[in-house]
Structure 1
Amino acid sequence: MKIKEIYLLQQEAAQEGYALDEWYNSLINKDISELNTVDLCRMIRQNILIELAIEKAIDVLKTNPLVGDVYDGQLLELLYSVDEEKIREYIEPLNEILLNIKQNLEIGDFICQEDYHEYLDLVEKFLTKINSL
């Protein structure tokens, strides 16, 4: 079933050459299982179907905590930026993912030590954020 059918959304008339309109129309014509990293990152950045984006991002991060559209770790970073009220109901799975990342992340997963430490800092900040809710 297509996203537009699940959420009763209408396809918008895309302004010619306007990539966001084109992407949105493409997005709502996908099945949920067809969402990719690019879609999830853009959904979070644009605050579009944010609950769906959070749920799918959690699923993706369980298997690949370093996934991103442009750079490693981008999906987790975008998820961290989501308003606290919107992630409140996802505290348990987020906590589980973050603790798993913290325990299993290795410096060899990164190009340099600086990236490794920045990502670990993000994980720590995220844990602090959700534990304060």
Structure 2
Amino acid sequence: MKTIREIYQISESKSQSNYALDIWYNDVLNKSVSELGIVDLCRMIKQNVFIELAISKALELLKLNPLEGDVYDGQLLELLFKVDKDKIRGYEESLKEILMNAKENVDIDNFMCKEEYDEFKDLVEKFLTKVNSY
């Protein structure tokens, strides 16, 4: 299975940086797509690196669990909502399926409090509006 370094044809470099972001980036380069975890995907989207790959993989996870997130429930969906609409163009049908699933199947019992539930439901509605506007 190809690594991200091979997929994007990134040459090997010897980074001597001890910054957490640089360490993570170099680690991700040596992973295959199947090895990417939720932490990687959230960070890839936040940092806008390998974004197409991150979106595609994120949609796979969200189909299984629309509440997927690194730090809190629904974080991955929220990060996708913030992605420039030109980058998520072409994924409208998958997004609609995920959002409708979330709207119909996620209930208040999945959250610690009503406010978190309301915020998630609001996000789903806003995201549906955004996707339907394409």
Q: TM-score range by the shorter chain?
A: over 0.9
Match of 1:106 in 2: 107
Q: Show structure 2 runs of 5+ residues with no match.
A: none
Paired residue secondary structure (1:89):
coil
Separation (CA, whole Å) in 2 of partners of 1:11 and 1:59: 29
How far has the Cα of 1:16 moved from its partner?
Answer: 2.9
Which runs of structure 2 are paired with 1:1-133 in the superposition (5 Å)?
A: 1-133=2-134
Q: Percent identity?
A: 61
- Asked if 2 retains the 8 angstrom alpha-carbon contact of 1:2 and 1:29, the reply is yes
Shift of 1:71: 1.0
Question: How far apart, in 1, do the equivalents of 2:57 and 2:126 lie?
Answer: 21
Q: Partners of 2:42 and 2:19 in 1: how far apart?
A: 18
Q: Tell me the TM-score normalized by structure 1.
A: 0.96
* Deviation for aligned residue 1:11: 3.6
- Structure 1: 5+ residue runs without aligned partners? none
Task: Give the number of equivalent residue pairs.
Answer: 133
Give 4+ residue runs of structure 1 displaced > 4 Å after superposition: none
Contact kept, 8 Å, 1:12 with 1:21, in 2: the verdict is no
Q: Once superposed, what is the RMSD of the aligned Cα atoms?
A: 1.0
